[in-house]
């Protein structure tokens, strides 16, 4: 059985994020990364055909692909029956909040970190968690409410740029919804990570910022029972 694996090739190390079968990855499973494959031993090639930098360590539990599709009440992509596996819509950890519209959980990380550190903190917080995406206005509302409830703040979210192409790290399509500030994104090298800015008047906008700058952040994951 093959699973698509979402990866990030950003300003630092390529990190493997999502898409594992509920209950983990079997040793004989094969996952695809761009043009290459990773087998049970975690070795593989990069999309350019060179030596891969990704590895799979430990067992991630997931009931889906991290993307809530239309008609899903929780992440069910990996369920052969087409129904959710052990999924519940509860987010009961500290600083965790549930979006009733999106069936996802959100966690405020109030410790300023670099983009890569923030993503690593999300992965450590919950299996399958990642820096939140903002693919619709409702997600921006949830990020704002989780983090600041309208107070001025800049936070990292899960977008990054490689070779002039912006993408979401969980594989969702970038561009269906955008909220760039005037003059953004800046094409200057090194400003390759995405930040959500909340102004004093409560308006929100996106900026391309340095990935090594320390910002607060929000983690997102599918609401489910691990």
| pTM value > 0.85 | no
Mean pLDDT (the chain, rounded)? 69
Over residues 35-41, the mean pLDDT reads: 34
Q: Where do the domains of the chain lie, and which CATH numbers do they carry? A: 2-222 (3.10.100.10)
The 10 Å Cβ neighbour count of residue 176 is 8
Of 93, 183, 115, 102, the C-alpha closest to 141 is 102
Rg of the Cα trace of the chain?
17
pLDDT at 100: 66
Backbone phi and psi for residue 132, each to the nearest 5 degrees, phi listed first: -60, 145
Beta-bridge partners for 60? none
* Cα 130–chain centre separation: 4
Residue 107: band (very low, low, confident or very high) from pLDDT cuts 50, 70, 90: very high
Cβ contacts of residue 171 below 8 Å, gap of 6+? 4, 6, 18, 65, 66, 67
Burial 2-11 (b: 16+ CB within 10 A, else e): ebebbbbbbb
pLDDT in tens, 74-85: 554 444 444 444
Residue 28 CA to residue 1 CA, distance in Å, equals 9
Is pLDDT of 95 > 70? yes
Show Cβ contacts of residue 81 under 8 Å, excluding neighbours closer than 6 positions. none
Establish how many alpha carbons lie within 13 A of residue 207's alpha carbon, considering only the half-sphere containing its beta carbon.
Answer: 15
């Amino acid at each position: 059985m093959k699973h698509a694996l979402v990866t990030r090739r950003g300003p630092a190390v390529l990190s493997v994020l999502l898409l594992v079968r509920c209950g983990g990855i079997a040793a004989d499973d094969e996952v695809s990364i761009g043009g290459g494959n990773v087998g049970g031993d975690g070795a593989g090639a990069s999309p350019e055909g060179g030596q891969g930098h990704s590895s799979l360590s430990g067992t991630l539990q997931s009931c889906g692909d991290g993307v809530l599709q239309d008609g899903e009440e929780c992440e069910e992509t990996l369920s052969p029956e087409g129904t959710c596996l052990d999924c519940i819509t509860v987010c009961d950890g500290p600083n965790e909040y549930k979006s009733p519209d999106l069936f996802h959980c959100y966690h405020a990380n109030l410790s300023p970190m670099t983009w890569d550190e923030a993503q690593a903190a999300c992965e450590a917080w919950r299996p399958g968690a990642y820096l939140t995406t903002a693919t619709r206005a409702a997600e921006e509302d949830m990020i704002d409410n989780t983090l600041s409830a309208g107070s001025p703040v800049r936070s990292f979210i899960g977008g990054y740029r490689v070779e002039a192409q912006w993408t979401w790290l969980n594989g969702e399509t970038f561009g269906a919804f955008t909220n760039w500030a005037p003059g953004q994104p800046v094409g200057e090298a090194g400003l390759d990570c995405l930040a959500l800015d909340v102004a004093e008047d409560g308006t929100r906008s996106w900026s391309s910022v340095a990935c090594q700058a320390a910002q607060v952040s929000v983690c997102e994951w599918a609401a489910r029972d691990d």
